[in-house]
Structure 1
Amino acid sequence: MQFVIENWMLILVAVVSGALLLRGSLQGGSGVSPAEAVRLMNHEKATVIDVCEPAEFEQGHIGGARSVPLGSLDEAKGLPSNKALPLLVTCASGARAQRAAATLRKQGYQDVRVMAGGMRAWREASLPVVTGAKG
């Protein structure tokens, strides 16, 4: 009990961080798997939005993906005009894609999903990668 009293601040930080991690996973923060991403593209005609920087995009991306760097998302012209169509957002590891998805939802897109693990997970699943500026 003495430990708890002396270290109440550390315990509070641990509890809050655990709660935030749990909240993210319960809200679907982990995103969709590469296999689910393929299903979305093939059966629901999801548009793939890659928010990597242009140099990263050229090094490898999903075929047919649209390059819309995260920094230019607010004024991007490469986004679909029909905001009801599904969007699949990806980046190198998934972190930027989470931020991009939040921005896209604020812009009115109704079905925005993030690929868990980004291009790293896509490559690990041995799925095809396109190099160069165009998909």
Structure 2
Amino acid sequence: MGELLQFLQAQWMLVLSAIVVLVLLLRGPLSRRIAGIEEVDPSAAVHLINHEDAVIIDVREQEEWSRGHLPNARHIPLGDLSKYVKDLERHRGHHVICQCASGMRSARAAALLKKAGFDKIYSLKGGIHAWRGAGLPVEK
């Protein structure tokens, strides 16, 4: 035990760095679980779109949207989403899939909508990158 304590004292910066990296790595997945946000992969999203009439909300910026987006998606940048919650009320009973480039912003958008009372809310895991990777169509 004494050797471990000496090592920790001598290598305190290394230990602190390892702790910081671990916290950063776990921060994203844990925060999504804590917020109760379910991620769906592209195939599950297609099922929700085709069989459950899911609504897609693309929370990317305009220039990202212009390069291609999911068919029939509604474009509401993340920074503007809180202004449009009332407009989305008619979709409260529907499945709503938030989507961005990689899944980080969409998780935040889904958490915002969940807090606003939307129950069937999802984040597209991997975002449009995963969607394209699965060979699914995009519109411009």
TM-score (norm 1): 0.81
Gap runs ≥5 in structure 1: none
Identify the residue that residue 90 of structure 2 maps to in structure 1. Answer: 81
The DSSP-based 3-state class of the residue aligned with 2:39 is: coil
- Structure 1 vs Structure 2 CA RMSD: 2.6
CA distance, structure 2, for counterparts of residue 114 and residue 37 of structure 1: 9
Stretch of structure 1 that moved more, 16-25 or 60-69: 16-25
User: Where do 1:83-122 residues align within 5 Å?
Assistant: 83-122=92-131
* Matched pairs, number: 131
Identify the residue that residue 57 of structure 1 maps to in structure 2. Answer: 65
User: Where do 1:1-135 residues align within 5 Å?
Assistant: 1=4, 2-8=6-12, 10-11=14-15, 14-15=18-19, 17-18=21-22, 21=26, 24=29, 27=33, 31-76=39-84, 78-131=87-140
CA distance, structure 1, for counterparts of residue 139 and residue 54 of structure 2: 18
CA distance, structure 1, for counterparts of residue 19 and residue 69 of structure 2: 38
Deviation at 1:87, TM superposition (A): 0.6
Deviations for 1:39-97, whole angstroms, at most 9, x for unmatched residues? Answer: 11111211000001122112101101001111110111652424232110001121111
Deviation at 1:22, TM superposition (A): 7.8
Deviation at 1:14, TM superposition (A): 3.2
Kindly name which structure, 1 or 2, has the bigger radius of gyration based on alpha carbons: 2
Gap runs ≥5 in structure 2: none
Greater helix fraction, Structure 1 or Structure 2: 2
Which residue identity is paired with 2:26?
L
Q: Is the 8 A contact 2:37 2:111 kept in 1?
A: no
Give identity over the alignment, percent: 43
